[in-house]
Structure 1
């Protein structure tokens, strides 16, 4: 009997030791992930919240340029407004983009590329043609906020850093949920509501854990919906989805001709289409070499078409279509308020109409021949693959657009709460920090295998290669530092 009791006690002790070892290992990885992610999380939370409220912020910041008194009189023709806007920019400036908005209280906006290479918006009163002012496109507050959110104003290096931070957030979420998971019998109230009767560091730890579990899904949603737009992984994912016909499959745009022809001559593309050959491969000359949607001067482009090739017009003698005609074509095809028109800058360019509304099902991309008005391509939501459709919905929700103000409020609440999580994590570390060391949780020398967690991390490293390299670097540094410290203690 004594032997059985002793054996049971030994098994219980081993189980407790294994559990403690697993907990400390998870805590250690949570610490490293949080240490890296925390500053980026605060930046993402603040800049994301600001960008979410762009529709309200910009008219307040730039009221003089953007807001006009509504009138019952009709607006001036858009071509006349564009002519008046051209007179307000330096000689040599080229019209780039036209913003089309039906709001009677908003000004007309035309974007020009200046001789210096910078882009400048010119705002006019649509009822009188009076120039209300100009704004630098690159230096507008919201654009700077967006660039901080995406790449910390550091170019490609900043873009990769933000991508890494998003990937490591996945590790932080996974280890955080595992650390919160109750190991003993407890009530739902204690697990899901903060125990405010605690004091000191235990209170901070409890608040941090409870907030974390409530925010885990929101944080995961932000990461998953943001990564498709990242500079490295997002572009590769877009290309993979397109090639697998789950993004924007080639040839999904119907049988309209991809090229116009010189007036009086039959179009080869049209003849092929009449014969039932709806071919859209790269060899038929349907796009300008290297020109894709992400190269165009658009404020925003639907994810599904960022890598879509832009078709071209055949150079032809004759006048370019007036802007009003392009707007009439867009309206006849159901394109609503709030879209952009990229004005062709070459004889073979096309008018590009990009509509990126709050409802993803209404997203639209049109390419209109600048001479004949023929619609060369008409890309709709129904043409997207399953992945691209899901990304479109995720993007709209991520940006706080899908269900209006309440979507904005939900996104802001989650973002700012995540920033608060970063602050509580810092306070917890500060309260227990040792002198002259980083203060990472101690690692058990004989930690349990934890095969499921290692498999999960390995899969994350494969799916996100950049993250995999940094995980390997952290693991090697941790092993080397730990073993060196252990040898010093042992000697």
Structure 2
């Protein structure tokens, strides 16, 4: 009789040990991710509504009355903006808008190295005011979202937060999983039991809310990581080498109509930037599609003695290529520079990048969505959905609901921790006396560590710290 009893008890002890181990990893992941997730959620929600927020904040500069009068040409508006800026300021960007109630925006690089937007009334040419590009509210929110405004260190922290969120999601769903007959009941599984009290109420709210938000959180992580400064760049290079990412260059590809690039200017022209070719990500554009960020900007074939093509001709050329509204034109800033038209619309399939010779008006490079590799096409859709752009206001509301829901989960997790944490201790769940096999989980974490090396290094560090901090205690428990 004893042997059968032991055989039946063994699976139960394995399950308990496995759930205890999952709880520990969920705790460690949450402890690190929780404060950063709140920052990501709040800043992400605000940035999602940038199209509505900025015109309200800067209405005196961005919004004009629709007088139905003839509009000034882009070149005339640019001349008005140049006249309003210091003599040594350099015009770097023209933002093209056809909305009759929006002002014309031109960006200048100032002698200090910072950039400034100048807003001009398109109907009477009046300069409405200026706005710092680096210090405007939405740029600050974006910098918080991407790197806590701490430079490379902050960007790595946010990248790690995304990776550890994957661990938090996986372990959280596993802990929630309704074993046995509990799966047939909605209360406590699909709906929180609001009749509970104390920590049990918070636990139900946390677990049920977490499982409803798990898919959205997973999507946010996977669609956001390709934009990270460390792993994202490596992933982009890998996708390109496998012909699945962005075009390998603005020339030499069958699907890209272009000419071979000229050499960088010896004076440090458009291309020469720290000894490397100028990339799309280096241009002063407000937004650049992920798929073309690392492509090299070609050189104009003409020479400084030739006259520059008017900006209005570039606008007309963009219209012929199907680019009509809400796009940026990076202006040439050297004798070898080009006009770069960057169209980053809500519909990824309409994305377009044109490089135009500043002297001849010839299109040197034309990169469309169809030029992208399979991975880049998927990421383009993910980016549009992630930013709440793809299907308008509904997309913004859904993204905001998921983001704020994740922030609420962080709060409920924090409250649960406070309610169970002993005084003056970390309050981590105790390690099980028995080590469960968990081969699938170990393999999954190892795979995550390989795909995300920085994540793998921190997982190893947490595992070592865990063994050193709790190893003796666990051994005593096992002997007991």
**TM superposition score normalised by structure 1:** 0.92
The unaligned stretches of length 5 or more in structure 2 are: 264-269
Give SS of 1:167's match.
Answer: helix
Output one character per residue of 1:48-71: Cα deviation in whole Å (capped at 9) or x when no partner: 000000000000000000000012
Distance 1:79 1:253 in 2: 33
Q: Counterpart in 1 of 2:234? A: 236
Structure 1 residues 314-325: aligned runs within 5 Å: 314-316=301-303, 317-325=305-313
Q: Counterpart in 2 of 1:344? A: 332
Q: CA deviation at 1:9?
A: 2.1
Q: Counterpart in 2 of 1:456? A: 444
Instruction: Say yes or no: does 1:93 pair with 2:89.
Output: yes
Q: Counterpart in 2 of 1:71? A: 67
Distance 1:260 1:356 in 2: 27
Give SS of 1:122's match.
Answer: strand
Distance 1:256 1:470 in 2: 45
Give the alignment partner of residue 153 of structure 2, picking from 152, 157, 162: 157
- CA 421–245 in structure 1, closer or farther in 2 if over 3 Å, else same: same
Give SS of 2:259's match.
Answer: coil
Q: Counterpart in 1 of 2:266? A: none
Output one character per residue of 1:306-336: Cα deviation in whole Å (capped at 9) or x when no partner: 1101100134221101100110100111112
Distance 2:430 2:13 in 1: 14
Q: Is the 8 A contact 2:302 2:360 kept in 1?
A: no
Q: Counterpart in 2 of 1:13? A: 9
Q: Is the 8 A contact 1:97 1:342 kept in 2?
A: yes
Give SS of 1:297's match.
Answer: coil
Instruction: Say yes or no: does 1:189 pair with 2:200.
Output: no
Output one character per residue of 1:403-442: Cα deviation in whole Å (capped at 9) or x when no partner: 0000000000000000000000000000011112100000
Computed over aligned residues only, the root mean square deviation of the Cα atoms, in angstroms, reads: 1.7
Is the deviation greater in 251-260 or in 475-484? 251-260
Distance 2:213 2:131 in 1: 38
- CA 374–253 in structure 1, closer or farther in 2 if over 3 Å, else same: farther
Q: Counterpart in 2 of 1:109? A: 105
Distance 1:175 1:85 in 2: 56
Q: Is the 8 A contact 2:431 2:474 kept in 1?
A: no
Give the alignment partner of residue 208 of structure 1, picking from 206, 209, 216: 206
Q: Counterpart in 1 of 2:256? A: 254
Output one character per residue of 1:81-113: Cα deviation in whole Å (capped at 9) or x when no partner: 101101111120000101001100000000000
Give SS of 1:214's match.
Answer: helix
Distance 2:294 2:302 in 1: 24
Q: Counterpart in 2 of 1:295? A: 282
Give the alignment partner of residue 136 of structure 2, picking from 121, 134, 140: 140
Aligned length: 463
Instruction: Say yes or no: does 1:305 pair with 2:301.
Output: no
Q: CA deviation at 1:252?
A: 4.5
Q: Is the 8 A contact 1:302 1:392 kept in 2?
A: yes
Q: CA deviation at 1:486?
A: 4.6
Distance 2:143 2:62 in 1: 22
Is the deviation greater in 84-93 or in 225-234? 84-93
Q: CA deviation at 1:248?
A: 1.9
- CA 485–8 in structure 1, closer or farther in 2 if over 3 Å, else same: closer
Give the alignment partner of residue 216 of structure 2, picking from 215, 218, 224: 218
Distance 2:163 2:262 in 1: 45
Structure 1 residues 109-128: aligned runs within 5 Å: 109-128=105-124
Q: Is the 8 A contact 1:339 1:355 kept in 2?
A: yes
The unaligned stretches of length 5 or more in structure 1 are: 262-285
Give the alignment partner of residue 44 of structure 1, picking from 40, 44, 53: 40
Instruction: Say yes or no: does 1:34 pair with 2:7.
Output: no
Q: CA deviation at 1:184?
A: 2.5
Instruction: Say yes or no: does 1:354 pair with 2:345.
Output: no
Q: CA deviation at 1:249?
A: 3.2
Give SS of 1:192's match.
Answer: coil
Distance 1:472 1:132 in 2: 56
Q: Is the 8 A contact 2:262 2:301 kept in 1?
A: yes
Distance 1:446 1:227 in 2: 36
Give the alignment partner of residue 433 of structure 1, picking from 393, 412, 421: 421
Distance 1:336 1:485 in 2: 68
Q: Is the 8 A contact 1:253 1:378 kept in 2?
A: no
Output one character per residue of 1:96-137: Cα deviation in whole Å (capped at 9) or x when no partner: 101001100000000000011110000011000001100000
Give the alignment partner of residue 387 of structure 1, picking from 360, 370, 375: 375
Output one character per residue of 1:253-284: Cα deviation in whole Å (capped at 9) or x when no partner: 434434599xxxxxxxxxxxxxxxxxxxxxxx
- CA 252–302 in structure 1, closer or farther in 2 if over 3 Å, else same: farther
Distance 1:94 1:471 in 2: 47
Output one character per residue of 1:221-257: Cα deviation in whole Å (capped at 9) or x when no partner: 0000000000100001011111111012331443443
Moved over 6 A (4+): 487-491
Instruction: Say yes or no: does 1:334 pair with 2:322.
Output: yes
